Amino acid sequence: MVSTRPFHLKAEVIPRPVERLAELLPYARAWVDSGISHLDASYDYGVPESFSDLIAPGVRIQVPFNGREVEAIVLERLEKPSVSGGISAISRVISAHPIATVESLALIESIAQHWVTNPWQLLRSAIPPRVASVDRNIFPETSLNQMNDDGKRSFAYQADAPFVSPATSAAEIISREREHGSVLVIAPNTRDIAAICAALSKLGVAHFRLDSSIPRAMRYANYLQSMREGDWVVVGARGAIFTPVKNLRTILVFKESSHQHYEIRSPGWNVRDIAILRRKRENLTVIFTGCVPSLDLSLLIENNELTFITKPHRLNVRAFSSEDGSLLPGRIFDDIRKGLSNGPVLFLMPRKGYGNALLCAHCKNMAMCSCGGRLVVTAKNAAPLCVLCSRRYEGWKCQWCQRDRQYIVARGIDRAGEEISRAFPNFPTILSFGGVIKDQVSNRPALVLATPGAVPTVETGYAAVVIMEGLNFFSHPDLRAQERARELFFETSGMLNPDGFVLLCIQDSHPIVSAISRWNPGAMIRRELSERLEVPLPPYVSSAVLVGTESEFTSIATGLRKAIAENRLAHTTKFYGPTNIGKGLSKIVLYFPHKDSTVVKSFFAELQRRRSIAKKERLEMRIDPYSL
Ligand SMILES: [Zn+2]
Ligand SMILES: [Zn+2]
């Protein structure tokens, strides 16, 4: 759906006198930021003699296109153009710095084919915006990359151990791999990047960052620096996976199963698949880290294509289930008190907010608004509020029995904080969630409440980790819910100190209980994989999601059905939908065997091409997305 706006240059373009073309290789092929979503965005231009020394693969230029001046990137120099006549000349060299190499442009081209997209969609993520002052101070340097051909490279998933910070473990791997050449590290977010950089500094490993949280000029300078001669350690977020780091030998993907390794904008490429692609093209060592591999990697481990490295550990785990709806199961209090005598106790909460649902304390009916929306309570003693129409219910009364006593369910972290600090008085209560993330807490006894992704670290580890409403984390409807919950339980439990214990608010029979205590998710993963194989679902098949306006999706569905019937798409292709997803949009989900993916992708490419010619909007399409 996202139609990309072409990059308009502010400077007015004055027609230049026609100049002689270069004597040697007088033409160049370039990707043009045309704003038109044809899949192949490459066009030929003449190279004026005066620019000849500068025009090389990866150089940013300005070219005329459809009566406008737009940005382009040089792919290669040519002796002869691929079309005859009507070839314009390059107007300007935007920067003399090559910002991509022949190899990285070829990589982007193959990724564009893989995700059926226009290369400019990827270039926006892959290359940081130019900063003119940096360009003036760094001199371009081009030298050929040495081919990595000295033997076999490892391809492994290194499982994080409990009681050690994952960033520290990663820093040790990076420091080891650094002996062989440059290392590119991709982490899900700024918080993880900062933790890895701190751990690298502690080990005395020089490194630099490449993510959008550092100043633009620094990011651009670091990007150029990583392409210069030398051995580098570059730490960045997902966009950095494209970086053509000089002498690259190893890619490390930190917290591999994180959803943040998936690009949000169409076409939704992901770091895991690009790392695997780069490994094959560039003969790299690729190491994934995390507590529990994603199902995608689990399948590679089952097939002996990826090495799984782990050590056995024993954790002290106890499970408690709450029968009466109270926040903390009755028998858990003694254990929490014991934990509090040794240090901070972590409570992992599933939700932000206060009361995310409200019942009548008498008849237990759910409190609803007259519009059909659910009522919530946003703070202590606040009037219930409708989630849909925001109507406030001052002096609320149950619509069924007319009584006014409220019973809060689906407690958010604010409400849980009140209840827990009341249950354990005289201990400080620390909340960490959403916009108020606390990075670290001290070793002193405290009640620490946090939501996923916001858990503060403790240098010596938590005295106890309590995972509240455990089943809640496993009961989300999407395909990755089990995978996400497993990683979360392991990662959070691993923040324990070696003498501490894990308290899970979940049935004792739940497989996560024994998985955590043996620090081994194998049985859970194998069970889920065998269920997936039966249907079959990803990772045993590929998937794709198409999103577009509701009005045209009936005909798109008909077209797909016809294509399957006529064998233009393999008969093994299954599709579901169109499903209305609101805002006038519909979606279609497709599953197809991996071996048919070339056929399916060329079908999609043809579909997009026809739409483009018919001046219809591009369909938003995602191949193997994080979630369907
Ligand atoms: Zn009632
Ligand atoms: Zn309402």
Does a structural domain hold residue 429?
yes
Which of 309, 333, 356 terminates a domain? The answer is: 309
Look up the CATH number of the domain holding residue 229. 3.40.50.300
Q: What is the pLDDT of residue 151?
A: 66
Expressed in angstroms and rounded, the spacing between residue 341 Cα and the centre of ligand 1 is: 42
| Range in 126-130, 165-169, 426-430, 499-503 with the lowest mean pLDDT | 126-130
Q: What is the pLDDT of residue 12?
A: 47
593 closest CA partner among 538, 541, 531: 541
| Residue 237, CA atoms < 13 Å, CB-side half-sphere | 19
258 closest CA partner among 461, 483, 49: 483
Looking at the structure, tell me whether residues 305 and 327 fall in a common domain: no
Looking at the structure, tell me whether residues 305 and 339 fall in a common domain: no
Mean pLDDT of 403-431: 91
**Total domains present in the chain:** 4
Expressed in angstroms and rounded, the spacing between residue 398 Cα and the centre of ligand 1 is: 5
Q: How far apart are CA 474 and CA 484, in angstroms?
A: 8
Expressed in angstroms and rounded, the spacing between residue 548 Cα and the centre of ligand 2 is: 29
Mean pLDDT of 428-440: 91
Expressed in angstroms and rounded, the spacing between residue 357 Cα and the centre of ligand 1 is: 14
Expressed in angstroms and rounded, the spacing between residue 612 Cα and the centre of ligand 2 is: 42
Question: From the CA of 366, which ligand is nearest?
Answer: 1
Q: What is the pLDDT of residue 446?
A: 97
Does a structural domain hold residue 124?
no
Q: How far apart are CA 600 and CA 594, in angstroms?
A: 10
Looking at the structure, tell me whether residues 366 and 513 fall in a common domain: yes
Mean pLDDT of 415-420: 91
Question: From the CA of 398, which ligand is nearest?
Answer: 1
* pLDDT-derived band at 572, boundaries 50, 70, 90: confident
Looking at the structure, tell me whether residues 499 and 615 fall in a common domain: no
Q: What is the pLDDT of residue 148?
A: 55
Q: Please state the pTM of the whole predicted model.
A: 0.90
Q: pLDDT averaged over the chain?
A: 90
Q: What is the pLDDT of residue 37?
A: 63
Mean pLDDT of 288-303: 97
Identify which has the larger pLDDT, 552 or 319. Answer: 319
238-249 per-position pLDDT tens digit = 999 999 999 999
Expressed in angstroms and rounded, the spacing between residue 433 Cα and the centre of ligand 2 is: 27
* pLDDT-derived band at 194, boundaries 50, 70, 90: very high
Give the rounded distance of the alpha carbon of 620 from its chain centre. 18
Question: From the CA of 407, which ligand is nearest?
Answer: 1
Mean pLDDT of 161-184: 96
Does a structural domain hold residue 74?
yes
| Range in 8-17, 28-37, 459-468, 472-481 with the lowest mean pLDDT | 8-17
* pLDDT-derived band at 620, boundaries 50, 70, 90: confident
Q: What is the pLDDT of residue 508?
A: 93
pLDDT tops 60 at residue 8: no
Expressed in angstroms and rounded, the spacing between residue 380 Cα and the centre of ligand 2 is: 20
Q: Are 622 and 267 in contact (CB under 8 A)?
A: yes
Expressed in angstroms and rounded, the spacing between residue 168 Cα and the centre of ligand 2 is: 49
Q: Which domain holds residue 87?
A: 1-98
Q: What is the pLDDT of residue 534?
A: 94
* pLDDT-derived band at 1, boundaries 50, 70, 90: very low
Q: Are 306 and 525 in contact (CB under 8 A)?
A: no
* pLDDT-derived band at 462, boundaries 50, 70, 90: very high
- Cα three-residue angle 314-319-325, rounded to 5 degrees: 160
Which of 463, 497, 532 terminates a domain? The answer is: 532
Expressed in angstroms and rounded, the spacing between residue 384 Cα and the centre of ligand 2 is: 11
Q: What is the pLDDT of residue 550?
A: 85
Q: Distance between the two ends of the chain, CA-based, in angstroms?
A: 17
Look up the CATH number of the domain holding residue 545. 3.30.70
* pLDDT-derived band at 3, boundaries 50, 70, 90: very low
Does a structural domain hold residue 330?
yes
* pLDDT-derived band at 290, boundaries 50, 70, 90: very high
Does a structural domain hold residue 112?
no
Mean pLDDT of 138-143: 67
29-82 per-position pLDDT tens digit = 999 988 766 656 789 999 999 989 999 999 999 999 988 999 999 999 999 988
Residues with CB under 5 A from ligand 1 (ion): 360, 362-363, 398, 400-401
Looking at the structure, tell me whether residues 385 and 465 fall in a common domain: yes
pLDDT tops 80 at residue 5: no
Looking at the structure, tell me whether residues 175 and 86 fall in a common domain: no
Does a structural domain hold residue 628?
no
Looking at the structure, tell me whether residues 591 and 493 fall in a common domain: no
267: preceding bond cis by omega (within 30 degrees): yes
Looking at the structure, tell me whether residues 608 and 561 fall in a common domain: yes
Alpha helices in 392-521 (DSSP H): 413-423, 470-474, 481-493, 511-517
Does a structural domain hold residue 141?
no
* pLDDT-derived band at 17, boundaries 50, 70, 90: low
Expressed in angstroms and rounded, the spacing between residue 355 Cα and the centre of ligand 1 is: 17
Q: What is the pLDDT of residue 185?
A: 98
Look up the CATH number of the domain holding residue 502. 3.40.50
Question: From the CA of 376, which ligand is nearest?
Answer: 2
Expressed in angstroms and rounded, the spacing between residue 450 Cα and the centre of ligand 2 is: 30
Looking at the structure, tell me whether residues 351 and 275 fall in a common domain: no
329-344 per-position pLDDT tens digit = 888 999 999 999 999 9
Expressed in angstroms and rounded, the spacing between residue 363 Cα and the centre of ligand 2 is: 21
Looking at the structure, tell me whether residues 362 and 503 fall in a common domain: yes
Looking at the structure, tell me whether residues 257 and 391 fall in a common domain: no
Q: Could you give the percent of the chain with pLDDT greater than 90? A: 65
Looking at the structure, tell me whether residues 84 and 37 fall in a common domain: yes
Q: Are 86 and 172 in contact (CB under 8 A)?
A: no
Q: Are 3 and 617 in contact (CB under 8 A)?
A: yes
Does a structural domain hold residue 105?
no
Question: From the CA of 359, which ligand is nearest?
Answer: 1
68-124 per-position pLDDT tens digit = 999 999 999 999 988 877 889 999 999 988 999 999 999 999 999 899 888 988 998
Mean pLDDT of 392-410: 91
Expressed in angstroms and rounded, the spacing between residue 388 Cα and the centre of ligand 2 is: 5
Expressed in angstroms and rounded, the spacing between residue 515 Cα and the centre of ligand 1 is: 42
447-450 vs 429-432, strand pairing mode: parallel
Question: From the CA of 392, which ligand is nearest?
Answer: 2
pLDDT tops 50 at residue 579: yes
pLDDT tops 80 at residue 214: yes
Expressed in angstroms and rounded, the spacing between residue 358 Cα and the centre of ligand 1 is: 11
Residues with CB under 5 A from ligand 2 (ion): 369, 371, 373, 386, 388-389, 391
Expressed in angstroms and rounded, the spacing between residue 359 Cα and the centre of ligand 1 is: 8
Give every CB contact of residue 81 below 8 A, 6+ residues apart in sequence.
Answer: 27, 44, 87
Expressed in angstroms and rounded, the spacing between residue 506 Cα and the centre of ligand 1 is: 29
Helices first, then strands: H and E counts in the chain: 16, 28
Give every CB contact of residue 476 below 8 A, 6+ residues apart in sequence.
Answer: 484, 485
Question: From the CA of 367, which ligand is nearest?
Answer: 1
Which of 309, 344, 363 terminates a domain? The answer is: 309
447-450 vs 345-348, strand pairing mode: parallel
